[in-house]
Amino acid sequence: MPWRCTRTTWNKELEPAQEMELKILALQKPMNEIIERGDSSVQQFYRDATVFLTGGSGFIGKQLIEKLFRSCAIKKLYMLLRPSRGKTIQERLTSILKDPVYDQLRSKQPGFADKIFVMEGDVAELKLGLSEENWTTLTEEVDIIFHVAATVRFNEPLKMATLINLRGTREAVALGKECKHLKCFNHTSTAFAHATESRIENDVEEKFYPSPVPPEALISMVETVDEDKLNALTPNLIADWPNTYTFTKALAEELIRRAAGDMPVCIVKPPVVTSAYIEPAPGWIDMKTCFSSILGALLGAGLGLFHVLLSKQDNPISFAPVDYVNNAIIAASWDAAERRKMGDPEIPIYTVSSSRCGTNWKFLGDTLRTDELLKLVSPKAMWYTSLIECSNDYVYWVLTWLFHYIPGYAIDAIIDVLGVRPKGLPKLVKIYSKAYSISQVYRYFSFNYWIFKDDNLRSMIQRMSPADKVIYNCDVTNIDYTDLIKTWCVGLRRFIIKDNLVGSAASYNRQKYLLKYANYTALALYFYLIYYVLATILSLFVTIVGYFI
């Protein structure tokens, strides 16, 4: 179904995408004024604290670092990092800090990076791969641990998923228990950890659920059993769970319950994490996250490359922007400490979710087809930005071949024959194959839904001071979801397409031209060609059969 367009009057001084960006940036003003005072309860909790972070190179981790330094006067941050692709950990840190997520922070605190100290390690290794010296340093100095690191690949082999998500959590807990000044061990899980088949269309509460396997037993198994045998056992082991990611994250929660002892702990469970809404920049997202999420499909549709989406229209979508997720993570450490002071011995679990906010796939599709969204299409769009939503697997497969694979093979062949493929541009068929694979991986979540209860998060928000409610806003019910989707488009253009948010008027007119002429004409010719080919094949088949009869 096409994104409709109508006549409009353009603001000659300001591009629509720039106007949207400025609208969201204006929401930062009251927050920035309160941050500068530095006297809120959460800010005081973090003042002069030494933080240890795993997963700092990931999407959530990068923005968490940014918000911690921008809003809190922390003393220093130790970051676990492993060498990668021929780079030392210091070279990796330098590369990470070049991300645009740090642009605002860099302008306000040019020396913030001097407070970041990288430690070589790996969450998949025993003792997190830390040297004895670094382990001792952390136990002597660290006040707060953020354990964010995880493999988020749904189809990760069980062995690696267990070593990273489960054993890595065990080692991080062991570190926390040895820290002499620990104020909180903050573990990032996922709202989908207990989104099992048996709980489809039912509540998933902020509580510990029975574990299908003792965590230590699974760790022992992956350490000793041959991986081929382990892979063969995986379907029976994960049983009610859709993949190894959610299964191992569920067991990690149980491991924390069993192993934490009297260590101060909290668990934060975000849903699908999308690009930023308000801070540090509207729509901020990194490349890796974009291409492995729903935003990758939005990007493809916006560029005129993707035309088919597998989804169930009436199903609620549970997602939250990364800035709201990290605000919840930061505030949760403070709230857990406050609950502990009041004599509450339980480990609090906080779920951040939009599952009860009325957002569903139909709302997303309808919003994308509005004229307001068409005004935000990038001038780099290669074709008409249309999108067909489909809830039938077989129809989706057919439409994928019609609108993705067949044109993709044809265009790739033409480009290769002419020898005009731009350097670094992958073949369209490869892009479409990856998109189809991702759609199958996410199908379980787009075709089913769960009602994620967020009572603990609601209670935390009520306990927060007026200042902290502004600085660490994590109330997903106050999000304007139409504006959020617009912000996604702005972010994709600013940080992925990198078109400087200019050329929207020309792009809008170009889309109208494609709609009226090129797109419909091409579709008519395309389907006529398919009809002609099929008719020829059928005629040939009848002739052959007639000959033998």
pLDDT in tens, 68-99: 999 999 999 999 999 888 889 999 999 999 99
**pLDDT tens column, 282-309:** 999 998 888 877 888 889 989 999 999 9
In the predicted structure, residue 4 carries a pLDDT above the cut 70: no
Look at 3 and 63; give whichever has higher pLDDT: 63
Q: Where are the alpha helices (DSSP H) in 52-204?
A: 59-71, 89-96, 103-108, 132-141, 158-161, 168-178
**Residue 175 within a domain:** yes
**Residue 358 within a domain:** no
> What local confidence, expressed as pLDDT, does residue 316 receive?
86
> What local confidence, expressed as pLDDT, does residue 12 receive?
53
Percent of the chain with pLDDT over 90: 70
Q: pLDDT band at residue 172, thresholds of 50, 70 and 90?
A: very high
In the predicted structure, residue 182 carries a pLDDT above the cut 80: yes
What number is the average pLDDT over the span 422-441? 86
At residue 535's C-alpha, the angle toward residues 534 and 539, to 5°, is 120
> What local confidence, expressed as pLDDT, does residue 8 receive?
40
- Of 403-407, 437-441, 466-470, minimum mean pLDDT range: 437-441
CA nearest 491: which of 2, 28, 20, 4? Answer: 20
**pLDDT tens column, 226-261:** 999 999 999 999 999 999 999 999 999 999 999 999
> What local confidence, expressed as pLDDT, does residue 192 receive?
96
How does the average pLDDT of the chain come out, rounded?
Answer: 91
At residue 185's C-alpha, the angle toward residues 105 and 321, to 5°, is 45
Domain of residue 231, residue span: 41-269
Q: pLDDT band at residue 2, thresholds of 50, 70 and 90?
A: very low
What number is the average pLDDT over the span 171-179? 97
The total of structural domains in the chain comes to 1
**Residue 368 within a domain:** no
**pLDDT tens column, 120-158:** 999 999 999 999 999 999 999 999 999 999 998 888 999
**Residue 331 within a domain:** no
**Residue 327 within a domain:** no
Q: pLDDT band at residue 317, thresholds of 50, 70 and 90?
A: confident
Which CATH number belongs to the domain containing residue 70 in this structure? Answer: 3.40.50.720
Q: How far is it, in rounded angstroms, from Cα 90 to Cα 390?
A: 46
Contacts of 161 (CB under 8 A, 6+ apart): 151, 153, 244, 245, 247, 248
**Residue 202 within a domain:** yes
Q: pLDDT band at residue 6, thresholds of 50, 70 and 90?
A: very low
pTM of the model: 0.92
**pLDDT tens column, 485-536:** 999 999 999 999 999 999 988 898 888 877 678 888 888 998 888 888 888 9
CA nearest 492: which of 325, 214, 291, 247? Answer: 291
Q: Across-strand partners of 522?
A: none
**Residue 140 within a domain:** yes
DSSP string, 388-438: EEE--HHHHHHHHIIIIIHHHHHHHHHHHHHT-PPTTPPPHHHHHHHHHHH
**Residue 445 within a domain:** no
Q: Residue 2 in 3-state DSSP? A: strand
- Of 242-246, 275-279, 351-355, minimum mean pLDDT range: 351-355
